[in-house]
Amino acid sequence: MKTFDFAVANPPFSYKAWSNGVDTTKDEFNRFEYGVPPAKNGDYAFLLHILKSLKSTGKGAVILPHGVLFRGNAEARIRQNLVSQGYIKGIIGLPPNLFYGTGIPACIIVIDKGDSRSGTPPLPGQGLFMVDASKGFIKDGNKNRLRSQDIHKIVDVFNHQIELPRYSRMVSLSEIVAHDYNLNIPRYIDSSEPEDIHDLSAHLKGGIPNRDIDALDDYWRVFPQVRDALFAPGNRPGYSRSLVASSQVKATIRDRPEFAEFADRTLALYRNWRQHHEPQLKAIALGEKPKEMIAKLSEDLLARFADSDLLDKYDIYQLLMDYWTETMQDDVYILVQDGWQAGKVLRELVAKKGEKLKETPDLIVDKKKYKADLIPPSAIVARHFADRQQIDELQAELDAVSQELEALIEEHSGEDGP
């Protein structure tokens, strides 16, 4: 059997015909030394095949349904053997409905044969790293999709073994043994949001529970004086009263000097990042690699916002990646292919016979329609000829007058016409 340094696989889930033509008792590659999977469920058959296909220091990642983590009988024995041998380095739980053809949630089993114990007894402190990434996704039509920030967070947390509340932790082997080698992620990570506790006394007698206000401690740490501006002690212990109407809370916060300082600090992080990279972006040359460019830009942005107050650095990262995908990426690829001269090129749009144009023209000259792939004419007009830009205003006036005329005609028309 050919072996590899790395293997990545997304085999068919719960494949029923995996054993056709396979004699598990006389397997020449000894793939089933840790157990034989059920005849009608091939999840572990693929995992064992990939494990055997790795070199002695090989690493792999296999996407499988969550059932492989907790199903019993033959699969439980295989799971116990693989964990005991130390082949499974970690498990990453993914959101449901990611893959076409199935809506069930899946997980990534990360294999590292280089870290395995290969027959030696396990040490007390050893274990595997678990990540519950099931909540990080965006709806995309009738499926879910991992965003750039979701992927980056998973990679960062797993590679650096970062333990985050309700997201990731190192699980000791002794804890796994206590759960009878059941690897179901919710047994080890509670990813549920804290329960919203209702205070019946506050509902009946009024007042705001201090514990609800204390729960916003991250904000009071950044805006220590805002709390006193919004709340005052109530008429009974453990409760406060509001000093401003609910409609004025946002304005009260924004008017505080602390908020202005926070906004300035945050914007300074962005402005310094932009100022640092602007010379490079203005000097994009033929042959540069766009993927390396956005990687450099995005990693630096992440690093600059790593310790920012109240902001999630991955949310900031996603803003950049969305802009890159929707707008910037195409422009950069044009520049590295055709150079800055592409900025003056207009591409004529011609529809095939019987079809409509699939793109919106930027310019119409003598009934011919043109598209500017790099610099829209409207941007040039707005930047250099704003004082002479009258056609839009005149068009708006014409549209308004035309609507008025149509309304008058309709209002004064009889059944036999005007």
Beta strands 54-65 and 4-9, pairing class: parallel
pLDDT in single tens digits along all 418 residues of the chain: 999 999 999 999 999 999 898 899 999 999 999 999 999 999 999 999 999 999 999 999 999 999 999 999 999 999 999 999 999 999 999 999 998 888 889 999 999 998 765 545 455 457 899 999 999 999 999 999 999 999 999 999 999 999 999 999 999 999 999 999 999 999 999 988 888 889 999 999 999 999 999 999 999 999 999 999 999 999 999 999 999 999 999 999 999 999 999 999 999 999 999 999 999 999 999 999 999 999 999 999 999 999 999 999 999 999 999 999 999 999 999 999 999 999 888 999 998 888 888 888 888 888 888 999 898 888 888 888 877 777 777 878 888 898 888 888 888 776 655 5
**Phi then psi for 171, rounded to 5 degrees?**
-105, 120
| Cβ–Cβ < 8 Å for 13, 98 | no
Beta strands 88-93 and 127-132, pairing class: parallel
**Phi then psi for 96, rounded to 5 degrees?**
-75, 165
Tokens representing residue 245 in the block: 């109407």
| Cβ–Cβ < 8 Å for 75, 44 | yes
Distance, in Å, from the CA atom of 182 to the CA atom of 130, rounded to the nearest integer, reads: 13
pLDDT score at 47: 97
Residue (of 357, 294, 360, 369) closest to 331 by Cα position: 294
The number of residues making up the chain comes to 418
Tell me the whole-structure pTM to 2 decimals: 0.84
Residue (of 119, 24, 42) closest to 81 by Cα position: 119
Output the 3-class SS for 218-283.
HHHHHCCCHHHHHEEECCCCCEEEECCCHHHHHHHHHCCHHHHHHHHHHHHHHHHHHHHHHHHHHC
